[in-house]
Amino acid sequence: MVKLSKMEEERALRLHREAIVIDTHCDTLMQFLPRSSRTPLVRKLGERSEHGHIDLPRMVEGGVTCQTFAMYTGRSAVQPDALLTALKMVDTFYGEMEANEGIVSVTNPDGIVAAKEEGKACGLLSIEGAEPLMGDISLLRVFYRLGVRMLSLAWNWRTPFADGWHAVRSGSKLPELGVQAIEEMDKLGMVFDVSHLTDGCFWDVADIKEEPFIASHSNCRDVCDHNRNLTDDMITTLADHGGVMGMNFAPAFVDKEKATVERVVDHIDHIVDLVGPDHVGLGSDFDGIRSTPEGLEDVSKMPNITRELVRREYSDEDILKILGGNHLRVFREVIQE
Ligand SMILES: [Zn+2]
């Protein structure tokens, strides 16, 4: 990273401290589940680890206010144990939240603001890929009651609700169950996440939905050509809906050659140039990615994003929006309680 002047460094640290920093995606819960062949390593939220990317001590160091903890179950197309795995993750999430003084579970934007005022971090539950719903809308309501406030309908494979980007159904239209899920989520007040959807399903969602939706962890295809990233047309449409996209740190989605914190901020620049500063945020994908960009080795390095935004002469207001203000705005518009 380019070194900042003393004044720039002070400005970056002040803004980062002041900000409600929101990260809309990580896969850390998997690493807290009891030992199995898939997750040989068991960590604790409260213990600083040499492994992985997120734990509470490193969150505090990185100045993250709200971490969305995704429940991910779908490594292959069919997941018979998805519901059981997700329920164990719900238990793990609340267990870890209750075991640690410095973090609370939240379900709504007021809770996020209150945590910040109390000097605490907070965790929000989400589902990545609708496998745990087992094709049944009633389970959407059950997970809502368990505190889940954000959901994506597919990971990389096909679910009864939508197609993930590996599984392009012919024409890849959103199935009827996906349409019903959108209606039910609007009724409940859940944040709809389009990350991982096929382009076809993205466009169906954009046609059907009136409420803002987010891409919790997706970058720009124009900056790094990958199907997990959004095209400029998609970004413009997401912005027209009042939505936000969280910048993903997975090197393959940041830069084909070399991923760095500067290249992550190049994606932010691209979105701001295209649709203004109201539609971009952070969605690290920490603990779901094997390697990390230079300068973003784990969550403790989050202030490097702020440093780079300061170096590029973003205004205070825009920096606060990008670090979390934009996501908080969508949460306020969508989440009811
Ligand atoms: Zn993902």
pLDDT at position 40 is 57
Give the pLDDT band (50/70/90) at residue 74: confident
Residues 161-173, mean pLDDT to the nearest whole number: 82
pLDDT at position 313 is 98
Residues 150-169, mean pLDDT to the nearest whole number: 88
Token pair for 198: 């096929």
pLDDT at position 158 is 87
Q: What is residue 8's three-state secondary structure?
A: helix
Q: Are strands 103-105 and 191-193 parallel, antiparallel or unpaired?
A: unpaired
What are residue 302's phi and psi, to 5 degrees? Answer: -50, -35
Share of the chain above pLDDT 90, in %: 86
Nearest to 117 by CA among 57, 66, 68: 66
Residues 95-111, mean pLDDT to the nearest whole number: 97
pLDDT at position 192 is 98
Q: How far is the CA of 112 from the centre of ligand 1 (A)?
A: 23
pLDDT at 135 over 90: yes
241-268 pLDDT, tens digit each = 999 999 999 999 999 999 999 999 999 9
Q: How far is the CA of 117 from the centre of ligand 1 (A)?
A: 30
- Write b or e for each residue in 188-223: b if 16 or more Cβ atoms lie within 10 A of its Cβ, otherwise e: bbbbbbbbbbbbbbbbbbbeebebbbbbbbbbbbeb
Q: How far is the CA of 286 from the centre of ligand 1 (A)?
A: 10
Identify the weakest region by mean pLDDT among 158-172, 180-194, 236-250, 304-318.
158-172
Residue 191 · residue 330 · CB < 8 Å: yes
Q: How far is the CA of 11 from the centre of ligand 1 (A)?
A: 32
Q: How far is the CA of 3 from the centre of ligand 1 (A)?
A: 32
Q: How far is the CA of 153 from the centre of ligand 1 (A)?
A: 12
Q: How far is the CA of 285 from the centre of ligand 1 (A)?
A: 7
Q: How far is the CA of 67 from the centre of ligand 1 (A)?
A: 15
Residues 224-246, mean pLDDT to the nearest whole number: 98
pLDDT at position 167 is 81
Q: How far is the CA of 171 from the centre of ligand 1 (A)?
A: 23
Residues 67-78, mean pLDDT to the nearest whole number: 85
In angstroms, what CA-CA distances link 104 with 43, 95, 284, 285, 330? 18, 11, 20, 21, 21
Residue 95 · residue 152 · CB < 8 Å: no
Residues 5-33, mean pLDDT to the nearest whole number: 96
pLDDT at 146 over 70: yes
pLDDT at position 108 is 98
In what helix (H) or strand (E) does residue 67 lie, and over which residues does it extend? strand 66-72
- Rounded to whole angstroms, how far apart are CA atoms 42 and 34? 7
Q: Where are the beta strands (DSSP E) in 146-269?
A: 148-152, 191-193, 214-215, 244-247
Give the pLDDT band (50/70/90) at residue 37: low
Token pair for 285: 């994908």
The angle that helices 6-18 and 303-311 make with each other, rounded to 10 degrees, is 130
What letter represents residue 195's amino acid? Answer: S
Q: What is the DSSP letter of 129?
A: S
- Rounded to whole angstroms, how far apart are CA atoms 60 and 284? 16
Token pair for 87: 């329920």
Give the up-direction half-sphere exposure of residue 57: CA atoms within 13 A in the CB hemisphere. Answer: 9
- Rounded to whole angstroms, how far apart are CA atoms 298 and 305? 12
Q: How far is the CA of 149 from the centre of ligand 1 (A)?
A: 17
pLDDT at position 258 is 97
What are residue 122's phi and psi, to 5 degrees? Answer: -145, 160
What are residue 146's phi and psi, to 5 degrees? Answer: -85, 0
What letter represents residue 42's amino acid? Answer: V
pLDDT at position 39 is 52
Q: How far is the CA of 98 from the centre of ligand 1 (A)?
A: 26
Q: How far is the CA of 1 from the centre of ligand 1 (A)?
A: 27
Beta bridge mates, 138: none
Residues 85-112, mean pLDDT to the nearest whole number: 96
**Other residues' Cβ atoms within 10 Å of the Cβ of residue 170:** 6
pLDDT at 169 over 90: no
Give the pLDDT band (50/70/90) at residue 23: very high
Tracing tokens 């409600």 back to the chain, one arrives at 20
Q: How far is the CA of 128 from the centre of ligand 1 (A)?
A: 7
291-334 pLDDT, tens digit each = 999 999 999 999 999 999 999 999 999 999 999 999 999 999 99
Q: How far is the CA of 17 from the centre of ligand 1 (A)?
A: 28
Give the pLDDT band (50/70/90) at residue 35: low
Residues 67-95, mean pLDDT to the nearest whole number: 89
